[in-house]
């Protein structure tokens, strides 16, 4: 079966369990397990089609404007499906005694604290948005999701999945979908959708690492550890350190994530493999963070966060675009050694990073030409689609070429190819 997210404006109602796992349960599970998986898939479809909340607008104001103060509200759906349900615990109140309610409350707080304390972000929308969650959603509901306005957690069926509040990184993951919606607005399909998923895995993992005080070297880099019930052959939903190894079980299938572009999965299911191909940028972040060392949220996390806020990152960004910008931001923020670590991380997953230059409208860009003997150098500019604008002929003496750029709208891009290989990107200033 194939499932497409069809929310408006390219924004997802994003869930933590990918459809290929639920499909596998429907095919291979016992009758009760099949029923739970089918019910979960049906509810997921209803939620997507009935979503009434508008997507968060991309932030345009001053980052962190206003007082940064947690405002958590956790409800119970009492195994029904009405949202947000009955209020149980609000900001500042003591533990409720309901483990799922209290785990949800703590996870909301840990996610808020990461974004506020480390990155100076004032909640999901950077404007003090209340953090709302609902636990005990549905009957044996095997998922958790962000619907554009709040977090929702199922209790799991107890035989395949445990309660979905058990993994704090799941909360960080889902809430980060809200951050992405409020910043880059990455569309939820194909490579931009896989980047959307990967960014949520990155910051979900950072929420967990920071909450338990782990360095990059100490972290397990698993997403959803503890979710799989006893008897399921797996350790988590995903592994950022070793994509494709998180589970291998007759009931839920084998982890299909690739760890390199040579194994990229072309598929029309799962919105073009957003939960599958996210393994590639996940592995790149793991490699960068462990190469840099220390706490992953300090340097590597800051580079990824600043890239998420970067106005050059479009809603349809490809892996190459995101990689190029992370390297550029690493250089600007931390210099050559960190830039080299991030560059190597992307190269190790099969993405060679192009240098990024800038131009002012109607000005000349000059760059070192890497192959003075090539006659196959072309410049393309992106405005209404891509179009070839100039043949580039190098000066054999200086090995330099001049790129003349027409006046274009802001955030236009130029790609230069030499013998079919991208050698740099330029962005309008």
Q: SS3 string of the chain?
A: CCCCCCCHHHCCCEECCCHHHHHHHHHHCCHHHHHHHHHHHHHHHHHHHHCCCCCCCCCCCCCCCCCCCCCEEEEECCCCCCCCCEEEEECCCCCCCCHHHHHHHHHHHHHHHHHHHHHCCCCCCCCCCCEEEEEEECCCCCCEEECCCCEEEECCCCCCECCCCCCHHHHHHHHHHHHHHHCCCCCCCHHHHHHHHHHHHHHHHHHHHHHHCCCCCCCCCEECCCCECCCCCECCCEECCCCCCCEEECCCEECCCCCCHHHCCCCCCHHHHCCCCCHHHHHHHHHHHHHHCCCCCCCHHHHHHHHHHCCCCCCCCCHHHHHHHHHHHHHHHHCHHHHHHHHHHHHHCCCCCCEEEEECCCCEEEEECCCCCCCCEEEEEEECEEEEEEECCCECCCCEEEEECCCCCCCCEEEEEECCEEEEEEEEC
Q: Which residues contact 318 (CB under 8 A, 6 or more apart)?
A: 191, 192
Q: Which residues contact 52 (CB under 8 A, 6 or more apart)?
A: none
Q: Does the N-terminal peptide bond of residue 84 adopt cis geometry, omega within 30 degrees of 0?
A: yes
Q: How far is CA 3 from the centre of its chain?
A: 19
What is the radius of gyration, based on Cα positions, of the chain? 22
Q: How far is CA 15 from the centre of its chain?
A: 12
Residue in 75, 177, 189, 275 annotated catalytic: 275
**Rounded to 5 degrees, what are φ and ψ at 59?**
-60, 135
Cβ contact 204:170 at 8 Å: yes
Residue in 103, 174, 187, 197 annotated catalytic: 174
The verdict on whether 174 is a catalytic residue reads yes
Residues belonging to the active site: 174, 275
């Amino acid at each position: 079966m194939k499932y497409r997210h069809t929310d408006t404006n390219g924004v997802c109602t994003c869930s933590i369990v990918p459809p290929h796992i639920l499909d596998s349960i429907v095919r291979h599970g016992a009758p009760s397990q099949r029923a739970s998986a089918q019910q979960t898939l049906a509810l997921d479809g209803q939620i997507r089609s009935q979503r009434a909340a508008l997507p968060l607008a991309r932030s345009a104001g001053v980052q962190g404007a206003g007082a940064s103060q947690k405002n958590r509200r956790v409800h119970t759906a009492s195994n029904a499906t009405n949202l947000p349900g009955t209020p149980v615990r609000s900001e500042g109140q003591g533990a409720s005694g309901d483990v799922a309610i209290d785990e949800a409350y703590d996870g909301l707080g840990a996610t808020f604290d990461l974004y506020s304390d480390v990155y100076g972000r004032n909640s999901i929308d950077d404007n003090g948005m209340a953090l709302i969650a609902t636990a005990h959603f549905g009957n044996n509901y095997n998922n958790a999701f962000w619907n554009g306005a709040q977090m929702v957690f199922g209790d799991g069926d107890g035989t395949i999945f445990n309660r979905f509040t058990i993994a704090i990184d799941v909360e960080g993951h889902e809430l980060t979908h809200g951050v992405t919606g409020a910043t880059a607005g990455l569309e939820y399909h194909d490579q931009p959708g896989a980047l959307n998923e990967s960014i949520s895995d990155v910051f979900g993992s950072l929420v967990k690492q920071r909450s338990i005080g782990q360095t990059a070297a100490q972290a397990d880099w698993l997403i959803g550890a503890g979710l799989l019930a006893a008897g399921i052959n797996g350790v988590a939903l995903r592994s950022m350190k070793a994509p494709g190894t998180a589970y291998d079980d007759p009931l839920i299938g084998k982890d299909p994530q690739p760890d390199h572009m040579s194994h990229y999965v072309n598929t029309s299911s799962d919105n073009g493999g957003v939960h599958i191909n996210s393994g590639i940028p996940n592995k790149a972040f793991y490699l960068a963070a462990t190469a840099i060392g220390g706490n992953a949220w300090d340097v590597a996390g800051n580079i990824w966060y600043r890239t998420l806020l970067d106005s050059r990152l479009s809603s349809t960004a490809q892996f190459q675009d995101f990689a190029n910008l992370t390297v550029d931001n690493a250089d600007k923020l931390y210099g050559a050694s960190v830039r080299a670590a991030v560059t190597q991380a992307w190269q190790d997953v099969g993405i060679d990073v192009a240098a990024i230059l800038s131009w002012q409208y109607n000005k000349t860009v000059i760059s070192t030409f890497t192959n003075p003997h090539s006659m196959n150098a072309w410049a393309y500019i992106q405005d209404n689609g891509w179009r070839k604008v100039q043949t580039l002929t190098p000066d054999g003496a200086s090995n330099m070429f001049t790129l003349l750029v027409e006046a274009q709208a802001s955030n236009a891009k130029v790609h230069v190819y030499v013998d079919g290989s991208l050698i740099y990107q330029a962005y309008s200033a």
